[in-house]
Amino acid sequence: MIIGVTGANGQLGCSLRKIAADYPQHRFVFSDLPQTDITDKEGVSRWVELHRIELIVNCAAYTAVDKAESEPDAAWKINALGPAVLGEICAEKLVKLIHISTDYVFDGRAEEPYKEDHPTHPIGVYGATKQQGEQAVRESGCEGLIIRTSWLYSEFGHNFVKTMLRLGREKDPLRVVDDQVGSPTFATSLAKAVMQLTGIAFDKVEVYHYCDDGATSWYDFARMIFILSGNPVPVIPVESKDYPTPAGRPAYSVLDTDKIRKKGVRIPFWADALKECLNILKNE
C-alpha cells in the first residue's frame, strides 16, 4: 500500500518515519508544509495523483492550545478546513483516510474513561476546531478512521516531557497542576497503533481511542519524568486556578481503549513507554 503522511514533521509524523522501515510491505510518502498544504485541494489532489497514494494518515494539526484562543481562524483552517478537504479528496479518489484527533473534544466532566460514542463538548477553540474536523471527515463520504489520542509526547519537537527536562536543568522547584487527569501517550506507541489499523477493513468513518494504558495527573507525570531520568527535581502540586491559562483544559480526559484493543492493538503502560522515550533522549 502507498501511504501518504501529512504533517510529517510533527511528533507523530516523525515517529511514523522512525518505524517506517518495519513495514516494508508499504511505501511511505511523507509531506508537510510548504510542499503539501492540506487546505489546498488542488495541491493535495496533485500530490495524491503523483504518488498514487492509497491511504492518507493526517497528522497535520494546529496544536497550540492557548494560542488558538487568540488565533481561532488559523486553528480552524488547519484543524477543520484541512480535514474537510482531505475527506473530500479521499471520497472522490477512493483513497482511505486516517485522521488524528484529540481528547480535547470532551469537556472533562466525566468520571470514567470516555468511550468513542460519548457526546463531544469542547471547552476551548482548539478542541472545538478539532471537533469540527472530525465532523467534516464523517460528512465527506470517505472511507476512514478517526483516532483520538491524548497528552502526546516524543523525542521530537516540543512537548511536556522535553519541557520538564529542560526546566529541571534550569530551576527548581517546579510547580505543576495536579487536578487535571489524563493518559500520557508516547508518539511511537500511537504510530504503531496507526500502522496496525491500516490492515483493518475500512467502510464508513469509525472512531477509535488510543492512549497509553493508565491515567495520571500532570504533577505525577512530571514526578515520574524526573524519577526515571534520575534527576531528583522537587515538584510542587498546584491547582489549575493557581496556574491560569488562556484556554481551559479538561479536568478528566482519560480515553476508553477497549474498542481498539479488540482489534489486537497492544497498549503499553504509560510509565513503561515514558521510560523508553527517556532512554532515547538520554542516548541522543
The residues annotated with a catalytic role in the active site are 126
Burial of 38 (0-12, 13-18, 19+ CB in 10 A): buried
d(CA 154, CA 277): 6
Residue 80 near residue 26 (C-beta atoms within 8 A)? no
| Residue with grid cell 478528566, as numbered in its chain | 252
d(CA 260, CA 279): 27
Residues in a beta bridge with 153: 186
Q: Which of 120, 122, 114 is CA-nearest to residue 250?
A: 122
- Could you tell me the three cell numbers for 73? 481562524
Backbone torsion region of residue 94, taken as left when φ is above 0, otherwise alpha when ψ lies between -120 and 50, otherwise beta: left
Q: Which of 176, 243, 189, 248 is CA-nearest to residue 216?
A: 176
215-219-221-224 Cα dihedral, nearest 10 degrees: -130
* Radius of gyration in angstroms for the set of CA atoms belonging to the chain, rounded to a whole number: 18
d(CA 190, CA 152): 9
